[in-house]
Copies of this chain bind each other. A is one copy, B any other.
Amino acid sequence: MSVAVIGLGRAGLPLAGVIAESGTYVFGIDIDTEKCDMINSGENPYPDEPDLDQIIEAYGGDVLYATPSCVPDCGVYVVIVPVGLTPDNKPDFKYLEKACRSVGRVLKEDDLVIVETTVPVGTTETLVRGWLEDVSGLRLGDFYLAHSPERIMAGMAVTRLKTFPKIVGGVDSASGLKAHSFYSGFLPDVRLAPDSRTAEFTKIAEGTYRDVNIALANELYVAAATYNIDYHEVRRLANHAFCHLHLAGIGVGGHCVPVYPHFLISDNSIARPELVEHSRVLNDGMIDYWVTRIMFEIDYSPEVKVCIHEIGYRPDTAILTNSRPVVLYHALKGAGVDVYVHDDLFTPEEAESLGLRWIEIEDADFVFNPFTLVMDHA
C-alpha cells in the first residue's frame, strides 16, 4: 500500500515525511510544481522546520515522491490543504473542494480518505463525502472517510506530529477504526473520537481556547496598565498547575488561531457563541489600543522615527500569515506616525518589497517589540 498526501504545505509536508520515514511509499500532491521539484531533489522547502531537512534529503524523490496531480491506487488519501476565510469571515472551501474532487477522480473501493484540514463541524460527513461520492460514483461504505485534525505548530512540525496525541474520528465506525489503524502504523499515541464531528469540534475548541485566553490576557494587560501594574509580573506570579494566563500582545496571527473561532461564529446552526466572538473582536481591536498607546508614548510627534521590531506572525518567525505587526505598521502609518520595521529574519529589500519601510535599530527614536510589548526610547 502507498499513501497520497494532498497538500504539501507546512502541515502536509511534515506528515508526508513522517509517513515516508516509517517505510511507506508516499505520493505528495501539490499544485506548486517548483516545490515538487525541490522535494524530489531532496531539498526542504521549509528550512525553518529543522527536523524536516534530513527527512526530505533522505526520502525526497524516492519513498516520498512529489507530483502535481493526484495518483491512483494509493489505498489512503490524506487531504491537508488550507480552509481559510472569505473576506466576510466565512469558511473558504475552494481548495478543499478541489482537492477532494481530485481524490474522487481516482477513488476506488475500500480506499480510505482522511481530512486533516481543520474544518467546520460536519464538513467531513457532508461536504467532503458529497464531493467524493459525486465524482467517484461510489457511496460511503464502498470507501472509508475520517477526520484527523493536524495539530502541528510551524517551526516544530515534525516534533509535534510525532509526540502529540493524534485524534481520529470516522464518519462511520468502520472508517474510524480503519483510520486509527492507519495512524497507529507510524504514530505512538492515536486516540479514537466517537465520530468525525467530535474530531472536527475538538480542533476548533483547541484553537478557540487559545484565542479566548489571549483575549483575556489582553483585557487583563490593559487593566493592569491602567493600574500601573506590569502584567508580565502578574502572569509570572499567578501561573501554576491550575492557572495558565497567556501572553498579552497586539492580537493573534498565523494560519490557525484567528481563523478557527470563525468556524463557530459563522455557523448559524448553533446559538451565537458570544464569548468566542467577543474574544475575536477584542484581539483584533488590540491594534487600536497599541496605536493610541504608541502615539501617547511618542508624545503624538510625527518627527519620532518609530520602529516595529519583528514582523512575523509570532516571535522568531519569518512567516507573515495574518501578521499583526504588519497590520500595526499600516495602522500607525495611517495615523500619521513615521513608522518603520526591522527584523533580523528579513533583508531591507524583502521588507521594502512587502511595502514596509526599513530602518536600522540604532537609527530609530522609539523601538516597539510587538511580542514582548517592550517600548524603548532611543
Contacts and interface: CB of A to CB of B under 8 A. Distances in A.
Interface of A: 121-122, 164-165, 167, 191, 193-194, 197-199, 201-203, 205-206, 208-210, 212-213, 215-216, 219-220, 222-224, 226-230, 233-235, 237-238, 240, 242-245, 264, 269-271, 273-276, 278-279, 282
A39 B229 CA distance: 40
A191 B274 contact: no
Contacts of A242: 210
A63 to B, nearest CB: 30
In the complex, the 3 A-B pairs of residues with the closest C-beta atoms, listed nearest first: A226-B270, A202-B237, A223-B270
Contacts of A220: 205, 208, 273
A150 B227 CA distance: 21
Given A212-B213, A274-B282, 12 more contacts: A122-B227, A164-B240, A197-B229, A199-B237, A201-B227, A206-B245, A208-B216, A209-B238, A210-B243, A222-B271, A244-B244, A275-B275
Contact of A230 (B198, B208, B235, B271): B198
A7 to B, nearest CB: 23
B165 A237 contact: yes
A197 B227 contact: yes
Given A237-B165, A270-B227, A212 B216 contact: yes
Number of copies: 2
Nearest to A241: B164
A230 B275 contact: no
Contacts of A191: 237
Contacts of A243: 206, 209-210
A122 to B, nearest CB: 7
A213 B202 CA distance: 16
Nearest to A234: B202
A209 B245 contact: yes
B274 A238 contact: no
A234 B198 contact: yes
B226 A269 contact: yes
Contacts of A269: 226-227
A224 B205 CA distance: 10
A349 to B, nearest CB: 36
